[in-house]
Amino acid sequence: MNKKDLIEAAGLSPTTVAKLKTGENINTEVLVRICNALQCTSDDIIEILPDATRETEAKK
């Protein structure tokens, strides 16, 4: 599924998708909508990284 399809299926704004791409915080309602659109659980779409790793990833 591409970004456009996800935006439509989950009812997301382009701003929310940009936040996902840059690792910014989003609320759980957004995660639930994404899981519903993808027919998956949060474990399938969330990866929790240590703070140092998260900072390195955000700089990419």
Distance CA 14, CA 34 (A): 13
* pTM for the model: 0.73
How would you label 18-42 residue by residue, b for 16+ Cβ within 10 Å and e otherwise? eebeeeeeeeeebeebbbebeeeee
**What are the tens digits of pLDDT across the range 3-50?**
899 999 999 999 999 998 898 999 999 999 999 999 999 999 888 878
Q: Where are the domains of the chain?
A: 3-59
pLDDT at 56: 63
- The answer to whether the beta carbons of residues 6 and 12 sit under 8 Å apart is yes
Of the candidates 3, 41, 44, which has an alpha carbon nearest to the alpha carbon of residue 21?
A: 3
* Band of residue 53 on the pLDDT scale cut at 50, 70, 90: low
pLDDT at 50: 82
pLDDT at 36: 97
